Copies of this chain bind each other. A is one copy, B any other.
Amino acid sequence: MSVTSELWFEEKLELDSGRTLKIRINRLIEQFESPYQRIEVYETVPFGRMLVLDGVIMCTEWDEHAYHEMITHVPLFTHAKPERVLVIGGGDGGTIREVLRHPSVAQADLCEIDGDVVRLSRTHLPSMACALDDPRVTIYHEDGAKFIAERPNHYDIIIVDSSDPIGPAEVLFSEEFYVAMRGSLREDGIAVTQSESFYYHASIVKRLTGFAKKHYAVAGYYNTIVPTYPSGIIGFTMCSKKYHPLRDFNEARVTPMQGSLRYYNPGIHRGAFDLPSFIKNEINL
């Protein structure tokens, strides 16, 4: 008789709600208690390496492209000429990697409050952190809300690549923060924010798109399919001072970059704004 043991990861947040994704693990690569949160990097059986913050899955090597490409290229291809970009959160580096694909970008600032997330991602997640040493990138370990308050009228694009509204990212889900982002954007700037799943968190989606409608000329919500996130999807609130993500989208600019993208394409850009009736009626966009 042979006895073998199996290691399984279960996401903490969704467990409490009576549903959770369970993932088989080869090994825990590193676990670290930072001043802000518990950071874990696992090697999973089905999904490559996986970053977990306070028990919640941030990304896996297997499906991170669906998230990082969509949070980045939808606003950057909507804006006529994005030059200065700020990423708040996003310490794994995946969003910065996508931002730097755009030749117009001259300045890519990363404001990640937790330096240990960046440090561990550089060590264990090189496929995401690979672009952090690009000369256009500056990394700040500061509070995102304070950071933008000090930089008025500065950015073409702000991407809020945050964790959930429990813990260090809570402030990023407030109305004050949506007003502050408007102040830090140039006159034709666009902000995009991680805004949860319309299946599991419709009330958050409604609240954040409400802030966008109230404080920006153009508001939108779009969706991407990320199997390792709760309910398999995640969406983004778009807050734009001028450009419309469909009417001002110039898909010819995508062509030179298309070969290096795994998820994003012009059809997905447009289709991502088509929402099921139950949430469309709820957020009224």
A 231-245 binary contact with B (CB < 8 Å = 1; else 0) = 111000000000000
Contact A22 B46 (CB under 8 A): no
Contact B10 A19 (CB under 8 A): no
Given A63-B199, A232-B232, CB of A276 within 8 Å of CB of B268: yes
CB<8 Å pairs between A and B, sample of 16: A18-B44, A18-B46, A19-B24, A19-B47, A20-B21, A20-B22, A200-B227, A225-B225, A225-B276, A227-B231, A231-B232, A258-B277, A263-B278, A264-B277, A267-B280, A271-B272
With a cutoff of 8 Å between Cβ atoms, the chain B residues found around residue A13 in the complex are none
With a cutoff of 8 Å between Cβ atoms, the chain B residues found around residue A272 in the complex are 271, 274
Contact B276 A274 (CB under 8 A): no
With a cutoff of 8 Å between Cβ atoms, the chain B residues found around residue A247 in the complex are none
Within 8 A of B (CB), among A227-285: 227, 231-233, 258, 261-265, 267-268, 270-278, 280
The 5 closest A-B pairs by CB, nearest first: A232-B232, A271-B274, A271-B271, A18-B24, A267-B274
Residue in B closest to A232 when the chains form the complex, CB atoms: B232
A17 at the interface (CB under 8 A from B): yes
With a cutoff of 8 Å between Cβ atoms, the chain B residues found around residue A267 in the complex are 273-275, 280
A28 at the interface (CB under 8 A from B): no
With a cutoff of 8 Å between Cβ atoms, the chain B residues found around residue A15 in the complex are 22
**Most B C-beta atoms less than 10 A away, residue of A23, A223, A272, A274:** A274
A45 at the interface (CB under 8 A from B): yes
A263 vs B275: C-alpha distance when bound (angstroms)? 8
Secondary structure at the A interface, as helix, strand, loop or mixed, is: mixed
Contact A276 B265 (CB under 8 A): yes
A268 vs B276: C-alpha distance when bound (angstroms)? 6
Contact B276 A262 (CB under 8 A): yes
A 173-193 binary contact with B (CB < 8 Å = 1; else 0) = 000000000000000000000
The minimal Cβ–Cβ distance linking A279 to chain B, given in whole angstroms, is: 9
Contact A268 B262 (CB under 8 A): no
A225 vs B272: C-alpha distance when bound (angstroms)? 12
Contact B19 A46 (CB under 8 A): yes
The 8 Å CB contact of A276, one of B66, B233, B276, is: B66
A268 vs B278: C-alpha distance when bound (angstroms)? 12
The minimal Cβ–Cβ distance linking A94 to chain B, given in whole angstroms, is: 16
A274 vs B142: C-alpha distance when bound (angstroms)? 39
With a cutoff of 8 Å between Cβ atoms, the chain B residues found around residue A45 in the complex are 18-19
